[in-house]
A and B are shown apart, each in its own frame.
Chain A
């Protein structure tokens, strides 16, 4: 065997993604990724409850990312799932259409002024009172049903990262 100076195979950083994937922002991928996320969380952490939460978080964050992704050829999504043993973190990085960025920021800020259940109920009331407007239930559902808190970070190249963190 050769014994040259060779890069190390891998180093685990903590927390290191348990799952990472990148893909084009196509709706068709969401179902398969959601079900993989469900299965992965069920088998890795052993609880059905977490698997169900993962489904909601993955589905709704990816839907948001796909809907608002820019049409450019290099537009790509990245999904990662990480855990430090106590918490689980789902994060989706995307390249959004610039016109949607401020409304996304505004919506995130808005729902975080209420606790998750209240924010979800408020979203239902808004949907009921505004039948012609778009649903906008998704982010509130992620918090309430997913049992996570949301944050948004702007990254280089116009990319954003939505992170959902909750207890295992």
Chain B
């Protein structure tokens, strides 16, 4: 195990008061096996994009290229969509001054992309509510957000996460610790 992994393990070993919501890719529809355990394992790539640096698009391109090289093509494509939508959310709904962290993680069976950023309480509530809707019925939520993205409306459409879970079939996991949120999109390797 490398020193990087030992540091990461030390970080994750301490209990805290964070909360969590998981949305299976099979929510409300198919009989896919549950994939909603918190993804822990080896970090393959981790990049901290400092606030306002304009690094997100290029970083996404790099993570996509990395995934294409290291993972099965179908998995890499799904994770690329997941990474794009998670990063877009962090940019559009996160705090302007927040660093955004993107991480590609693999375990024995699973692989995922995780995006962390800060957000205000109202945005966190909105995100949580949205994920609960996806958990109840992903397809219906996807169709609603698709309609809203065409017709416009307040609040802003949140098609991205619906796309991640319904269209691309990744399991979503939201962890919240005070103002820090981490959204993970994962699937079997």
Q: Residues of A at under 8 Å CB distance from B?
A: 1-11, 13, 16-23, 29, 32, 36, 39-40, 43-44, 78, 80, 93, 155, 159, 161
A9 touches B58 (CB 8 A): no
Q: Choose one: B13, B48, B62; the contact of A7 (CB below 8 Å).
A: B13
- Number of residue pairs spanning A and B whose beta carbons lie under 8 angstroms apart: 108
B30 CB–A CB distance under 8 Å:
no
A6 touches B16 (CB 8 A): yes
Pairs A–B under 8 Å by Cβ, sample size 8: A1-B20, A6-B18, A7-B12, A9-B18, A17-B48, A21-B45, A43-B58, A161-B3
B46 CB–A CB distance under 8 Å:
yes
Cα A61 to Cα B78 with chains together (Å): 32
Q: Given A1-B128, A9-B182 in contact, is the A19-B14 Cβ separation under 8 Å? A: no
Instruction: Count residues on chain B whose CB falls below 8 Å from chain A CBs.
Output: 46
B3 touches A155 (CB 8 A): yes
A20 touches B43 (CB 8 A): yes
Cα A79 to Cα B155 with chains together (Å): 41
Cα A69 to Cα B43 with chains together (Å): 21
B38 CB–A CB distance under 8 Å:
yes
Q: How far is the CB of B2 from chain A (nearest CB, A)?
A: 6
- Kindly list chain B residues whose C-beta atoms are within 8 Å of the C-beta of A78: 2, 4
Q: Choose one: B15, B40, B58, B128; the contact of A36 (CB below 8 Å).
A: B58
A13 touches B19 (CB 8 A): no
Q: Given A13-B7, A17-B46, A20-B4 in contact, is the A6-B20 Cβ separation under 8 Å? A: yes
B14 touches A8 (CB 8 A): yes
B70 CB–A CB distance under 8 Å:
yes
Closest to B65 in A: A32
